[in-house]
Amino acid sequence: MLKIGMFGLGVNGALHFSNMLHMDDVEVVAVADASKTALKRAKNAGIKHQYKDYNDLLKDRKDLDAIIISLPNFLHHDSIMKSLEAGLNVFVEKPMATKVWQCKEIVNLVEKTGLLLMVGHAMRYYDAIEKMKKITDAGRVGKLEFFTAESIMNGPLSHGVVPSPVPDWWFDPDRVGGGVLLDLGYHLIDLHRYFMGESKLIFQNFDHKYNLKVEDTATLILSSKNGKAANGFINVGWYQKAIFPEYDYRCIVHGDSGHTSTDDYLPKNMYYHAVKEGTKNFIRKISFQKIRPLSYTYFYESFYKELSAFFQSIKNDVETEVTAYDGLKTMEIIEEAYMRMVQ
Amino acid sequence: MKSQVMLLKTDKLQNNINECITKLFDNVFNIGDVQNVAIKPNLCYYWKASTGYTTDPRIVSGIIDEIRERFGNDVDIKIVESDATGMRVKYAFTMLDYAKLSAEKEVDLFNLSKDESEKIEVKVGKTELSFNLSKTLLETDLLINVPKMKVMRETHMTGALKNLFGCISNTRKIKYHEILNETIVGVNKVLKPEINIMDGLYALSKYPVKIDALIGSDSPYSMDYVAATIMGYNPNTIKFMQLAKENGLGDPKNIEVKGESINSIKSIFPHVNNFLYKNSFKTLLKFLKLYTYLVGDIVPPILEGI
């Protein structure tokens, strides 16, 4: 049984928490969050040890195998470093940290300690992306030549069915670290690397439709050919009112023998998808098979899958599927884009 | 004298909003001298006017110009809104271009939730209500109500009467949602805007729809009566409209409609079946709860607590 500590029970933290309660061989032992309400929810779910400050959790709990970090961006670096120094494996929501120098420190410490660190690149775990990766790895579209991806929605500006205010740190450039490029663009840059190889930044353009200090619209052109030829086009925005449960992203990979696209695999109707997947799970249940958790939601399933992959790496003592190095390389592109825009 | 409602359509590029506003002032409103004015748009969340959710700042801009034209440049004009359960006014003003408008027109942006407030106690039918309203708002000479034309699951529609619910200073307005109809009427028993201009440039049906309409009225009740008809509802079956009538806020027999015909706008507004709209989501959630109970699957926290 893996013993887990959690830092942060906000939107994604609550999702990870809820997922872990349904996982075999995983026990959430302690949680830390500044919100009393969040701690009360954890207590009601049977978590015995709650802390307002993650430093106290680290001091008290010496029996943990890993920490799951879903804190605001500006706390990632500090909490990761302290967790690694305490000898704990770490899963952290993206971005790994808000600055490249912080990411480098983390990569160095991971290497020094030999611990596992996985960054939450959830998009790699989307069913459609997994299928596309399988196809491209099998050579079915030939040599990969071009990658296009877009993700336009409300990002942190959307709210659940029961609304709650967007936390202030999302509007503070120093604490959030960036705008839509860091929020949504991050995933697509990672996918460019994932499909095409090491990325270089060719061009960047930002817009501020919401008059915020951070960008709400970003377009990047990338190259995986050492900057010699552009082969990646990324377009992200926070400006579109997302309509639950639809999820607006798209990714196309062109090779010299064909192409593959998320459009080929994304459910056309999310309600129909939910009924179909729910029925499959019901049949699995009555046939005494394991269900496929959250498959009916499409989007949220990826969070379950990435966390399961992390725990599997700990159990088998093998490298995580997404590493600290992946987090660093993605942040290098983002920081360079921000620096060029300032110049 | 009958309550006036005037329907206007802008040109297709929506370039003549100011002309339309002047026409409304000439034909519908009859205002004496004013020293201070509060303009209340609908800024329910951080979604631009073109999504159909919030009031277009171009309309508020036109109103400011018209007020200055008629009452002089010394009139103190405030654009007012209050924090809501999931929305903070300071961000809404910035993100929805009201901060830009404020700088350009030299008018104040005013957060009603941050002002000293007065506790209001009012009875609607058998329901005793208590809420806070900003003292500045209560003392203003002229309140201009600038709602959005949109459908809403809970109440069929949001319009002039509902927009004033947004004046309540209390941030967690969601606590009033169980007595929403009564609270809407309760606020309207206290606040009496003499100018109501509804933004129907991009209205909201089940999705946004560009209908290029502006509606002016001297009565929030009369405005909503006409707007509900345009949206395809029978206003007499809408709970808060019934309550409003019972509480003397208006009477369908006392409405005079001018300008464009109701049918000319109604014909381009996609009607939403409110019964299905309201209940389909609830039914889905019930199915979800049953499914997760039977199968042992997970409910994402974003859907919990509903």
A19 vs B174, B298, B303: nearest CB: B298
Choose between A11 and B259: higher pLDDT: B259
pLDDT class of A243 with cuts at 50, 70, 90: low
- Summarize the confidence of residues A50-63 as an average pLDDT: 96
Q: Identify the pLDDT of residue A226.
A: 76
Is B86 close to A271, i.e. CB distance below 8 A? no
Cβ distance of A211 and B299 shorter than 8 Å: no
Closest CA in chain A for residue B44: A163
Architecture of domain A2-121: 3-Layer(aba) Sandwich (3.40)
Tell me the three state secondary structure of residue A327: helix
CA distances from B148 to A36, B41, B105, B184, B213 (A): 37, 8, 22, 15, 11
User: Residue B145: how many CA atoms within 13 Å on its side-chain side?
Assistant: 30
Closest partner residue to A171 (CB to CB) among B91, B100, B305 is B91
Return the pLDDT at A240: 87
B276 touches chain A (CB under 8 A): no
Contact A165 B297 (CB under 8 A): no
Q: Are strands B255-259 and B3-9 parallel, antiparallel or unpaired?
A: parallel
pLDDT value for A154: 86
Distance CA A30, CA A18 (A): 14
Query: At the topology level of CATH, where does B3-271 sit?
Result: Rossmann fold (3.40.50)
What pLDDT sits at residue A244? 62
- In this complex, the residue of A17, A159, A291 whose CB is nearest that of residue B295 is A291
pLDDT given for residue B277 in this prediction: 83
Give the separation between CA A152 and CA A184, rounded to whole angstroms: 8
What confidence score (pLDDT) does residue A125 get? 97
Beta carbons of B294 and A282 less than 8 Å apart:
yes
Q: Does B95 touch chain A (CB under 8 A)?
A: yes
Of A241, A296, A300, the CB nearest to B51: A241
- Closest alpha carbon within chain B to A243: B207
Q: Which amino acid is at A217?
A: T
Please provide the size of chain A in residues.
343
Q: Which residues does chain A have within 8 Å of residue B154's beta carbon, measured at their own beta carbons?
A: none
Q: Is B303 on the interface with A (CB under 8 A)?
A: yes
Alpha-carbon distance of B252 to B257, in angstroms, equals 11
Are A163 and B51 inside 8 Å of each other by CB? no
B305: closest chain A residue by CA: A162
Contact B95 A15 (CB under 8 A): no
Q: CB of B72 within 8 Å of any CB in chain A?
A: no
CA gap A68, A80 in Å, rounded = 10
Q: How many CA atoms lie within 13 A of A254 on its CB side?
A: 9
One digit per residue, the tens of pLDDT, for chain B of length 306 reads: 899 999 999 999 999 999 999 999 999 999 998 999 999 999 999 999 999 999 999 999 999 999 999 999 999 999 999 999 899 999 999 999 999 999 999 999 999 999 999 999 999 999 999 999 999 999 999 999 999 999 998 899 999 999 999 999 999 888 898 999 999 999 999 999 999 999 999 999 989 999 999 999 999 999 999 999 999 999 999 999 999 999 999 999 999 999 999 999 999 999 998 888 888 888 888 899 999 999 999 998 877 754
Q: Rounded CA gap, A180 and B301, in Å?
A: 24
Whether residue B295 and residue A285 make contact (CB cut-off 8 A), yes or no, is: yes
Contacts of B46 in chain A (CB under 8 A): 154, 157, 166, 210
Strand pairing of B148-152 and B156-158? antiparallel
CB contact under 8 A, A159 and B45: yes
Whether chain B has a CB inside 8 Å of the CB on A302: the answer is no
- CB contacts < 8 A, A to B, total 84
Count how many residues are written for chain B.
Answer: 306
pLDDT for residue A161: 67
Give Cα A128 to chain centroid, integer Å. Answer: 16
Give B-chain residues touching A239 at CB under 8 angstroms. Answer: 48
Determine, for residues B291 and A212 on separate chains, whether the beta-carbon distance falls below 8 Å: no
pLDDT band at residue A148 under the 50/70/90 scheme: very high
Beta-carbon separation of B295 and A166 below 8 A: no
- Alpha-carbon torsion angle B267, B270, B272, B277, nearest 10: 180
Distance from CA of B250 to the nearest CA of A (A): 33
CATH top-level class of A124-267+325-342: alpha beta
Delimit the CATH 3.40.50.11440 region(s) of chain B.
3-271
- CA distances, A286 to each of A291, A292, B286, B295 (Å): 10, 13, 21, 9
Q: How do the domains of chain A map onto residue ranges?
A: 2-121, 124-267+325-342
